[in-house]
Structure 1
Amino acid sequence: MTTFQHLDIPTLAGWLEGDQALTLVDIRDPQSFAQGHIPGSRRLDNDTVGAFIEEASREAPLVVVCYHGHSSQQAAAWLAGQGFAEVYSLDGGFTDWQHRHPDRVES
């Protein structure tokens, strides 16, 4: 069974600082995403996931972000099953990211 890995916030911050090629998706609701998200992330929901799967790189690490790191685990497991090579669920989610990196939030 294809599965995902857990990713901590310091590791993601380091990847983003190092310009690591990665795909960042945010599965929170549209209003929450509009109020703030990790720079470079795109919002993913049931309506957009089909197009995302068609066009996204299967090779680049894929990081799934939710509110607190819970629902992203289910989404990450599902995406791993769609053939993405490296899938991560961000532990602590956007809430923890915003707490630790308030200067690295885009709205």
Structure 2
Amino acid sequence: MTTATFQHLDIPTLGAWLEDDRVLTLVDIRDPASFAAGHIPGSRHLDNASVPALLAEAPRDTPLVVVCYHGHSSQQAAAWLAGQGFGEVYSLDGGFTGWQVRHPERVEA
């Protein structure tokens, strides 16, 4: 039996994917207030209440990128989501904090 795994994704690569309009699912696992205050455009908030909808709606063959504050808790969430059948799962290294520092103009409230 193989264990489902995720990959690390750096901020420049995610930026390039978004600029190229690459089809992907982008989820943000930070708390609701932090997400509301600012998030990467196109991301959806993911918490325990919204996981069932994600599992029902998101295509398993589309890359899935998980964002947290600094890139630590997203690793556990990415590993769990990979175990749910998503084939290409990434944890954003540096998280939203790193994204906001590098791309302040690409933050949506």
TM-score normalised to the size of structure 1? 0.99
Which residue is equivalent to 1:25? Answer: 27
State the 1:38 CA deviation: 0.1
- Matched with 1:34 is 36
2:23 pairs with 1:15: no
Partner of 1:101: 103
Identify which of 46, 55, 70 aligns with 1:68. Answer: 70
Structure 1 unaligned segments of length 5 or more: list them.
Answer: none
TM-superposed deviation, 1:55: 0.8
> How many residues are paired up?
107
Query: Letter of the aligned partner of 2:20 in structure 1?
Result: G
Corresponding residue for residue 90 of structure 1: 92
Per-residue deviation, residues 73-97 of structure 1 (Å, max 9, x unmatched): 0000000000001000000000000
Residues 3-40 of structure 1 show CA distances to partners (whole Å, capped at 9, x for unaligned) of 00000000000000000000000000000000000000
- Give the share of equivalent positions with the same residue, in percent: 78
Question: Secondary structure of 1:88's partner?
Answer: strand
CA RMSD of aligned residues (A): 0.3
How far apart, CA to CA, are the structure 2 residues paired with 1:104 and 1:88?
A: 20
* Equivalent residue for 1:5, pick from 4, 7, 11: 7
Q: Which amino acid aligns with 2:31?
A: D
Gaps of 5+ in 2: none
Moved over 4 A (4+): none
Give 1:49's aligned residue.
51
The letter of the residue matching 1:81 is G
Q: In the alignment, what sits opposite 2:81? A: 79
Q: Distance in 2 between matches of 1:50 and 1:21?
A: 21
Q: CA deviation at 1:51?
A: 1.2
The SS at the match of 1:103 is: helix
